[in-house]
Structure formats: structure tokens, C-alpha cells
Amino acid sequence: VYAAVFPALFSPIEQGQSGETLLADTDASCFYHPGKKAKVICEGCGRFLCSLCDVEISQQHLCPACIESGKKKGGLSALSTRRTLHDDLAISLALLPLLIPFLGWLCTIATAPLAIWISIRHWKTPCSIVPRSHIRYVLAIAFGLLQLIGWMIVLILIVKRK
């Protein structure tokens, strides 16, 4: 068995270049430029890239096609142009229903678990660009738990009365 490892796998990464011209037949060439020498491998699709096609985003080497598809799918967090403030959403879900007597209180059976779930699910999601504490998540979880305890007491009372 003969295994040939492409030198591009181990060569140091050079940036801002137009790509080295392929000299020997044994060298791997860029997927997009057959005449240029491969420097890196795209971490998205595994294609060989020359230094012109190599784009480094948050320590990831990607080809233009992967960046384009990442933009469409929203998978590249470094390219995102908007962020959802999940902590605001969680605390709103935990508190706003309480403002509407009866109907809102009834809604808490659904909104309280949702507030807790959002808080835990997005605890580590990058929130705002400016530093922000987790106090809203903590409060949302606390109020959500209190509401659930309230519901449990109500349900126990209903069951006992029967």
C-alpha cells in the first residue's frame, strides 16, 4: 500500500497571497484554481485551497463556498449580524403573564417551564456584544420555579378536595 500525504497538510499557513503556482505534478492543487498549489484544507468541505481561497474566520479555515452556505444557514456565529437577547425573553415569559390577572396566571403553566428551559438552553449562547450578567436567567429560573411550585400546590389541593 502506498500512501502519499499532501504537503499542504503540514505546511505553515500564509495569508494574503495570490497563491503559489503549481510546479510539480505531485503537488496537490487548489479546488478552485487548478494551477495553484494547495495550502490548506477547508474545514467545512475538505477541499484543498490555495492561499487566495483560504479565509480564516474565528480560527477556522474555510472556502468561499462554505462561508456562503454558512451565512445562509446561519451556522457561522462569527458572521451573525443580529443576536437574540434570550435572557430578556426568558424573564419576560416568567413575569409578564403575572401582570394579567387570571388569564395570564393560567398561562404560567406553559410559560414558566418555557422560561426555565430558555434560561438553561441559552445559558452559554453569546448574548449581547456588551458584557451582560446572567442575572436575568437566574431570576427567570427562580420565578419559573416559584410558579411551578404554585401550580403543584393548586393541583394537590384539587386532588385532595376530590
Question: Which pairs from 36-45 meet CB under 8 Å and 24+ separation?
Answer: 37/8, 38/6, 38/8, 39/8, 39/11, 39/13, 39/14, 40/8, 40/13, 41/8, 41/9, 42/66, 44/69, 44/70
**Residues forming the site for Zn ion (CB under 5 A):** 30, 32-33, 36, 42, 44-45, 50, 52-53, 63, 66
Complex with Zn ion: residue 45 or 156, whichever CB lies closer: 45
Complex with Zn ion: residue 35 or 104, whichever CB lies closer: 35
Complex with Zn ion: residue 50 or 115, whichever CB lies closer: 50
Q: Which residues contact 135 (CB under 8 A, 6 or more apart)?
A: none
Q: Would strands 40-41 and 48-49 be described as parallel, antiparallel, or unpaired?
A: antiparallel
Complex with Zn ion: residue 29 or 147, whichever CB lies closer: 29
Minimal distance in Å, beta carbon 91 to Zn ion? Answer: 40
Minimal distance in Å, beta carbon 5 to Zn ion? Answer: 20
Minimal distance in Å, beta carbon 134 to Zn ion? Answer: 35
Minimal distance in Å, beta carbon 75 to Zn ion? Answer: 12
Q: Residue ranges of the alpha helices (H) in 59-101?
A: 64-73, 86-99
